[in-house]
Amino acid sequence: MKAQPPASHFIDGEYVEDIAGAAFDSIYPATGEVIARLHAATPAIVEKAIAAAKRAQGEWAALSPTARGRILKRAADIMRERNRELSELETLDTGKPIQETIVADPTSGADAFEFFGGVAAAALNGDYIPLGGDFAYTKRVPLGVCVGIGAWNYPQQIACWKGAPALISGNAMVFKPSENTPLGALKIAEILHEAGLPKGLYNVIQGDRTTGPLLVNHKDVAKVSLTGSVETGRKVAGAAASSLKHVTMELGGKSPLIVFEDADIESAIGGAMLGNFYSTGQVCSNGTRVFVHRKIKQQFLARLKERTEKIVIGDPMIEETQLGPMVSRAQLDKVFAYIEKGKAEGATLVTGGGIPNNVPAEGTYIQPTVFADVTDDMTICREEIFGPVMCVLDFDNEDEVIARANGTEFGLSAGVFTADLTRGHRVADRLEAGTLWINTYNLAPVEVPFGGSKQSGFGRENSLAALNHYTELKSVYVAMGPVQSPY
Ligand code: NAD
């Protein structure tokens, strides 16, 4: 098999197998071919991983942040050296075109190791608090064993975005990738150890929705960071609450992207396409509700259709391919069901909606799809589809569009395209979302906090803000004189 790893799990610095765990296949979505066969973690594997993490964490936390950072930076260098190999693996895992993975996946993971490795020496300092003779100081201390649970759209990036801040802060991690994309995180674990990470600090175990709770409910786990759907987020946050664990929730969205009549239309169309078709639409922050000012609607739709129909669909391993398959047949079926619903509820199908020509029948391909005349109450406008389906809505004025953009339970991201500088900031200020873009869409560099509000989650990944979610403050009061006691 094309991508068979030495074993299913990576624990305590080595590959580990336990064939008592339920067997599952890793499928290359472009061809339907089985590329690896793995086993889900048994309770014994879960115990082994958490015990290894717990054992290793204390010594790791005692190192200086600079010493920890050196290892992460080395891992970043190795990832960049092996970018092609890692990108091909990511393409096999997800079906995303190599044109994307080569610039967006391992490289973004490497950015996280480089950034956190570099900033830690200064960013993990505490404060000195003068108290008039007495004083206090604060220390930023690690939480202990942190669990990361990943979605299937950015397997390597998610493994690194959670691993880097956890490790630099002095924690150990047990990471469970999505059962749809089990391969990338194992390589990240391998590379971290090659870079010098002591064994036990970054462990990867496989499994699905039945394995996750074993981690979330474990008494030795201090924190859970989930990237997944809102539904899973509710379950994981609920389970974590029963033992008062720290949680970070990176969940779904139905984000608005607003195009005003003065926007650079070509640029706005480019942003809308990026924010709907990149990674075959499987991006949490996608701007799937595209509000276009009525004055420019016809012009916008005509060019959007023309540009969408030129998208190159096909073999993800060919550099020219711009759109690969969906990650799985289940996800493909879900997206087609939404397309049918869109038609039934009266939206106008501008382009797409079917299976592209000249793709393997076993591949899970779909045409990039645009609906126009979408209204706020339609199912396709309210629910996260997680596929390449763009909904275009009309609007007439700023107050109206802001109210409609905010009329959702989600609050992950939002975008605005306008030539008016003050309007750009004013609208960004009023949109309810954790991450906003003005005159671009979906850029998420490691320097900038990323995360959601409302039902899209809480906590932030990337940037110095992420360190707050992997550490807690210890305050130490120091008396400089005798105790003034009334007794
Ligand atoms: P999912 O919620 O089905 O699964 C996510 C992960 O949670 C998987 O590893 C799964 O095995 C695990 N899981 C499922 N039930 C669990 C439980 N009860 N306890 C513990 N773990 C459990 O999501 P998905 O289909 O893999 O990914 C798509 C979703 O992820 C979309 O909603 C998307 O918006 C979201 N997402 C969010 C972000 C973000 O940063 N905000 C990024 C990527 C994806």
pLDDT digit string, tens, across residues 160-194: 999 999 999 999 999 999 999 999 999 999 999 99
Query: How many Å apart are CA 354 and CA 339, to the nearest integer?
Result: 9
Cα separation values, 143 from 55, 218, 474, Å: 14, 14, 11
The residues that bridge with 474 in the sheet, in sequence order, are 139
Residue to substitute in 93, 149, 225, 285 for testing ligand 1 pocket (most ligand atoms within 8 angstroms of CB): 149
The pLDDT score that the predictor gives to residue 450 is 98
Residue 446, in any domain of the structure = no
Please tell me the total count of domains within the chain. Answer: 2
Residue 456, in any domain of the structure = no
Residue 79, in any domain of the structure = yes
Question: Is 131 known to sit in a ligand binding site?
Answer: no
Helix residue ranges per DSSP H, 322-415 = 329-344, 379-382, 398-405
Residue 351, in any domain of the structure = yes
Cα separation values, 425 from 393, 401, 436, Å: 22, 15, 10
Residue 179, in any domain of the structure = yes
pLDDT at 436 over 90: yes
Q: pLDDT averaged over the chain?
A: 98
Residues 205 and 229 in one domain: yes
Cα-to-centroid distance, 221 and ligand 1 (Å)? 19
- Positive/negative CA dihedral, 402, 407, 409, 415: negative
Residues 168 and 313 in one domain: no
Residues 184 and 269 in one domain: no
Residue 277, in any domain of the structure = yes
**249 φ, ψ (degrees, to nearest 5):** -120, 110
Domain end: 438, 466, 481, which one? 438
Angle in degrees, 0-180, between the axes of helices 155-168 and 83-94, rounded to the nearest 10: 120
Residue 358 burial (C-beta neighbours within 10 Å; 0-12, 13-18, 19+):
exposed
Strand order in the sheet with 256-259: 348-351, 369-372, 389-395, 289-293, 256-259, 413-417, 435-438
Residues 140 and 15 in one domain: yes
Residue 464, in any domain of the structure = no
Residues 233 and 295 in one domain: no
The pLDDT score that the predictor gives to residue 233 is 98
pLDDT band at 121 (very low <50, low <70, confident <90, very high): confident
Domain end: 251, 273, 300, which one? 251
Residues 90 and 219 in one domain: yes
Residue 473, in any domain of the structure = no
The pLDDT score that the predictor gives to residue 120 is 86
Residues 369 and 434 in one domain: yes
Q: Cα torsion for 266, 325, 356, 307, to the nearest 10°?
A: 10
pLDDT digit string, tens, across residues 224-283: 999 999 999 999 999 999 999 999 999 999 999 999 999 999 999 999 999 999 999 999
Residue to substitute in 183, 245, 284, 450 for testing ligand 1 pocket (most ligand atoms within 8 angstroms of CB): 284
pLDDT digit string, tens, across residues 56-69: 999 999 999 999 99
Angle at the Cα of 317 (from 390 to 150), degrees rounded to 5?
A: 60
Measured from the CA of 253, which atom of ligand 1 is nearest?
Answer: 34
The percent of residues above 70 in pLDDT, for the chain, comes to 100
The pLDDT score that the predictor gives to residue 284 is 98
CB 87 within 8 Å of CB 38: no
462: alpha, beta or left? (left if phi > 0; alpha if psi -120 to 50): left
DSSP reduced 3-state for 449: coil
The residue annotated as part of the active site, out of 48, 73, 96, 162, is: 162
Q: Which helix or strand (DSSP H or E) is residue 94 part of? A: helix 83-94
Question: Is the whole model's pTM more than 0.85, yes or no?
Answer: yes
Residues 245 and 261 in one domain: no
Q: Which of 75, 105, 69 is nearest to 183 (CA)?
A: 105
Cα-to-centroid distance, 387 and ligand 1 (Å)? 15
The pLDDT score that the predictor gives to residue 52 is 98
Residues 179 and 200 in one domain: yes
Residues 210 and 265 in one domain: no
* Mean pLDDT on 397-415: 98
pLDDT at 332 over 80: yes
Residues 162 and 29 in one domain: yes
CB 87 within 8 Å of CB 105: yes
The pLDDT score that the predictor gives to residue 41 is 98
The pLDDT score that the predictor gives to residue 114 is 98
Residues 6+ apart with CB under 8 A from 7: 15, 16, 17
Cα-to-centroid distance, 125 and ligand 1 (Å)? 33
The residue annotated as part of the active site, out of 284, 297, 381, 391, is: 284
The pLDDT score that the predictor gives to residue 223 is 98
pLDDT at 487 over 80: yes
pLDDT digit string, tens, across residues 387-405: 999 999 999 999 999 999 9
CB 190 within 8 Å of CB 159: no
Residues 244 and 261 in one domain: no
* Mean pLDDT on 293-318: 98
Atom 14 of ligand 1, nearest CA residue: 209
If you ran DSSP here, which 8-state letter would residue 247 be given?
A: E
CB 364 within 8 Å of CB 332: yes
CATH number at residue 118: 3.40.605.10
pLDDT at 155 over 90: yes
Q: Domain span at residue 141?
A: 9-251
CATH number at residue 337: 3.40.309.10
Q: Determine the distance from the C-alpha atom of residue 74 to the mean position of all C-alpha atoms in its chain, rounded to a whole number.
A: 23
Query: How many Å apart are CA 287 and CA 292, to the nearest integer?
Result: 12
Q: Which of 236, 243, 234, 227 is nearest to 157 (CA)?
A: 227
pLDDT at 1 over 90: no
The residue annotated as part of the active site, out of 250, 254, 381, 391, is: 250
Ligand 1 within 6 A of CB of 213: yes
If you ran DSSP here, which 8-state letter would residue 278 be given?
A: G
Domain end: 251, 282, 312, which one? 251
Residues 6+ apart with CB under 8 A from 340: none
Cα-to-centroid distance, 390 and ligand 1 (Å)? 22
